[in-house]
Structure 1
Amino acid sequence: MFLERVPKTSNKFEKMTSDSRFVASALQPDTKPDMTKHTQLATLKFTFLSLLLTVLCSISFAQDIPADPAAISAGESLFNANCKTCHRVHQKLIGPALADVYNRAPSIDWIKSFIKNSAGLIASGDAYAVNLYNEYNKTQMTAFSGLKDEQIMQILAYVQAETIKGPPVAAAPVAAAGGSGDAGSGIPSSYLNAIVAGLVLILVLLVVILGFLVSALKRFLDQKDLSAEDKELVHSPITSNSILKSAGFSFIVIFFVVALGFKALINGLFSIGVQQGYAPKQPIAFSHQIHAGQYEIQCQYCHTGVTKGKSATIPSVNVCMNCHNQIKEGALYGTAELSKIQAAYDNNTPIQWVRIHNLPDLAYFNHAQHVNVGGIECQTCHGPIQEMEVVRQHSLLTMGWCIDCHRKTDVNSKGNAYYDKLVELHNKSSKSAMKVEDIGGLECAKCHY
């Protein structure tokens, strides 16, 4: 069959050649057709088409990354939850800076494969993956097999937007007029000082005015025809001795002593079992200020159970070594504290962390319900954890504290069809927002069973 097709192909070629000769003779009647020029022209056309196809493919490759604000916003959330612990866009951290990674990597498909299973790609002998592995002290990236391709593209959309935006420019410090205010304070300290000074001035003016009133009242009474006893009473000097011996003063002192003693007794009874401010010494001086504050590591990276179940869980030594197999020196304590982590890892023994937040056994609290459904931030209950060098119990965590929260907190029903019927019934009977107490948040069996 192949041999039968050769003459047809040859005839077609001869026809094309004759046509080319006819065109050439028409354009240049005195010149013989040159087949070399035709071959060069065909080669140039082929090369041009190849370059054009390559450019079009590269354009479509770049357009694979979405650029709409919704994708960028979703990518930022995914980046903060999954990538921010080890990566920054413009700064090298545990892993490389991700700016322009979609152009530096072999392909977007390669990026997807590396994110989902970096160990497998390295084991396959991929040159780019092996070079990264060796460059970063043979630290393997965590496998994010649960991420979908669409989510990875959203992360790349955020990285691309940040790459185009460029690295952040540090803002110049602004000097506050009349002294520096407290960091994070709603009112500058200069305003607070002015308010206190104004109140003190008002009190002084009131004392002066009362003194003038007493003096004026004495002059008025002197003009009256008073008896000797009344004049003695008006002009009797007020001394500290006369005040201390008066029955009224004795009654006031006894009343305040009894009231303060009773209040101290009640406060002592109510504080039994309350550990607000409790900050025990830990076996390793772990700083949340450095990890959650300075390096902005997400709470969920270490406390993995916070979105899955009742307990937030305490991280294992392996979680610590994800970073500290590369970071060998601490910012505050040098290698002394990190050597304890290394020793626990080498000996395969857990670190004996001291529990800080303790609830009685009769009370049930579920982290996943509050974090996933309620959308409650960690700082709502645990305070500014990112600022704590030593973690302490920030809130009371008492029954009254929980009930007060359920009475004041609006139910986050947006986008959750579970609450649609409840919201509809609530809106029929009330114009205010639906609170947690409106959906059974104060029922005893919710926390005690």
Structure 2
Amino acid sequence: MTSSALVNINPFTPESYRKQFLQSSGKRKTRGDLEEADPGEGKVQQGLPAKRCVLRETNMTSRYEKEFMEVEKIGVGEFGTVYKCIKRLDGCVYAIKRSTKSFAELANENLALHEVYAHAVLGHHPHVVRYYSAWVEDDHMIIQNEYCNGGSLQAAICENIKSGNPFEEPQLKDILLQISLGLKYIHNSDMVHLDIKPIKQPSPCSPRAQGTEKGRTLSQVVKSKYKRNIFICHQMQSDSPVVQEEIENDADWFLSANVIYKIGDLGLATSINTPKVEEGDIHFLAKEILQEDYQHLPKGDIFALGLTIAVAAGAESLPSNGDMWHHIRKGNLPHIPQELSEEFYNLLKNMIHPDPRKRPSAAALARSRVLRPSLGRTEELQRQLNLERMKTATLERELREAQQAQYPREGHSDPEVSGTPAGSRSTKRPVGGKSAKSLSFPCGKSSP
């Protein structure tokens, strides 16, 4: 079997892109083409891709031990364990995730590859945890991701609960805005996350959860066994601060922020147009998704994000069923033990509206005046700046035309101005004839 058959097909890449890439050489075909092909065309084209073969053949001397120095274990979840590691070659810190189950223990290998597929297609965005590489070692999936030095939103919420100081409104707005920017990017990539949440319910900070972890500190409980999907990065101090005027779009504004919030764990992500939905945490799940109505999947992420902000604001553990669960799905926020401004509270309520069509989109949140009150002024200044640039460009063009008219090209000058007979043309071309003229003033008297 040739190497062309040992390629996985990423389900998140657009079909048109897949066809163009796989058929560009005339040697690779999509699955549909393979089924219609003549059986006698050659065995190289059979079964694209041979996933089990790819995974088995990836075995090698431990790349993990060879390339990385393990510093500490920073998290254990249902699907894998995450380690803080330093790459020996570049000296940078990364988060390395190793799957809990081997491929031999999985009923479907695609489930293990799902997160890799999603990360690879998304690429780099400041509010999505960055993906670097993935490989299979000892029949386990290993993913190399960005290391977030501020830990998780889950851990921050737990510390706030412990100290009795939940996030205040300015911080809540900041979290909501940044995660909205990340969701906007994911949704624009024709994907939905489907597992947005700050913390596994019941909260690992609650007495019930901590009671099962006797003898361990709060930070150890938080690190040990709870899935985290929103992470925090603290900006490194720079000697050259960002100038506000240089921040012109959603992708750049974060450069001035000290704390960056990022979306991670894409294990349940799916395509908007061709969804294969694995339901997320029932505590944050929108009712329409539970009822298998997938017409407005991005608004399911918005619903979960609204409840995420409510929990960050101090709301108690969310119910998994019962009257309160249905009460929230009717558009009612859980009790928040702090007073929020009316406009912000109403925005959160709109995010959990029972009709998904009436919830704001991630793009609308990213441009909300509630979250970005200075956006109107910024847009006006940007509009004026663009107008001035257009005026400047027009004046520069008119100046060039005036200069060309004043100093025309040789052979097209006005005889009355130049004093040269119309029928005579000079065959000599002075150096610098096309440049603007300059005057020189000699220091001494010139000889007659």
Q: Which TM-score band (shorter chain)?
A: under 0.3
> Larger % of strand: which?
2
Higher gyration radius (CA): 1
> Larger % of helix: which?
1
TM-score (norm 2): 0.23
